[in-house]
Amino acid sequence: MNYCQQQVGLREKCGVYGVYNTGDISMGSAAYLALFSMQHRGQDGAGIASTDGKTVRYHKDLGLVGDVFDAQTLKMFDKQKIAVGHVRYATSADAHAVLSVQPIVMHSKDGFLAICHNGHIVNGPALSASLRDKGVLLQSDVDSEILLHLIARRMEVGLEQAIIGMMQVVYGSYALTIMNREKLVGVRDPWGIRPLCIGKVGNSYMLASESCTFDALGGVFIRDVAPGEIVTIDESGLHSVQGKVVAEHMCVFEYVYFARADSTMCGAGVYGARYRAGQLLAKNHPVEADMVAGVPESALPSAIGYADASGIPYGQALLKNPYVGRTFIQPSQIVRENTVRLKLTPLAEQVRGKRIVLVDDSIVRGTTTIKLVETLRQAGAKEVHMRISSPPVKYPCHFGINTPNAGQLIGSKLKVEGVRKLLGADSLEYLDLDMLTSSVYDENGNGPKGFCTACFDGNYPMDLKKCKRKGC
């Protein structure tokens, strides 16, 4: 996915982490590396909370992981027993709200609770209103605080049962890491929309949004947390209880774009899923060309798959500038319009006089793709054929991805030929939905039992109108 889409189009909300230390690891360094490995899931804020079994300490702030934590700050976590961590993307309305940065920590007569959340609660406003009617003072509008209060109000029955009670009234997506003085708990929503997995470093159990985190720490991936499952890790080991159960609807866009290519989700490797999508794209939408190229970074496996299946040589047409990130300041309209050229520059000697197949993972508004096609033509490309390894994005996401409204989505306004003309491409083809979902499964059939594909087909896994009205 290209830069403008990251800025104003599809954006993942968060990444979560948790660890129960048995003495094998340095907690500060481990938490830092874990969050750094998930930086792609959130770049607006980061935080860590930990406990030694008695008190809680935490540090969080706006910015990238490397900006929020320094060596001195990380030392405060080193001799701790349990920790949770979070990286966050924010919407434009709350991008600079420090109160919204997680973990959220609450103190009560039962001790403290700290929570990290990836996802979005559909009935958050209704739950917030219900809690306020009951006298609860909310410090922010963050879903995570609502979840924390719903759990804390039920703590007389124990943490796990309190979470089960919370699940009965909450509709939406959530992957949670929660800790108190004694336990680390991982929770995945009953629909399984957002990912969460279990790993181990030495004898210390960990929870993370993606398996790449365990690789970064020299650990091993054990398994995914099942939809609706509550996993508890304490001094006696790992325990599991099944909460609310609904049919699995794993977000298919995790495989398309959000997850790191070296992660495994629901038994299916992300790189392999993208590679197979590219192969299917080539088999179903061939074109005569001289070179296949991908838009860095997430589309590269699909571009390689397309090249291998088509027999057209793979090459690099665009060079990514690693120093132009999301925090790049855009002081004028001129700079905004040229952001694509600053982020992705053409390799003229590679594209000059050639017919190029340019593979990308998705098109949101289309403004960036227009610039890419224009840039390649100016660099001397003879033809530019766009191939997209997912269907047109037509509907907004309500489960933790910051999509524009339907009126801003080019796929909801124009048919394929209309989009092609707007982009200025010689041809444009998308991978259809059945092929996209089939590409996730590996040769052994590993993969989710079902998908959320609402951004493509409008089939949401719950009745949004009814669910939005449900309070507690």
* Interatomic CA distance for residues 39 and 203, integer angstroms: 25
Structure tokens at 409: 């989505």
Q: Which amino acid is at 135?
A: G
- What is the crossing angle of helices 143-152 and 159-169, to 10°? 130
Tell which residue, 372, 366, 364, has the closest CA to residue 343: 372
In eight-state DSSP terms, residue 157 is G
Tell which residue, 368, 386, 367, has the closest CA to residue 426: 386
In eight-state DSSP terms, residue 183 is -
* Interatomic CA distance for residues 256 and 231, integer angstroms: 27
Structure tokens at 9: 């189009």
Find the radius of gyration of the CA atoms of the chain.
22
Is 266 labeled as catalytic in the residue annotation? no
3-state secondary structure of 232: strand
3-state secondary structure of 122: coil
DSSP-assigned letters across all residues of 258-312: IS-TT-EETTEEHHHHHHHHHHHHHHHS----SEEEE-TTTTHHHHHHHHHHH-P
Residue 430: other Cβ atoms inside 10 A: 24
Tell which residue, 223, 216, 255, has the closest CA to residue 65: 216
- Whether omega before 297 lies within 30 degrees of 0, making that bond cis, reads yes
Q: Do 177 and 207 touch, CB atoms closer than 8 A?
A: yes
The residue from 14, 116, 197, 397 that is catalytic is: 14
In eight-state DSSP terms, residue 138 is -
Structure tokens at 446: 């590993």
Tell which residue, 313, 413, 410, has the closest CA to residue 364: 410
Tell which residue, 134, 163, 160, 161, has the closest CA to residue 151: 163
Cite the active site residues: 14
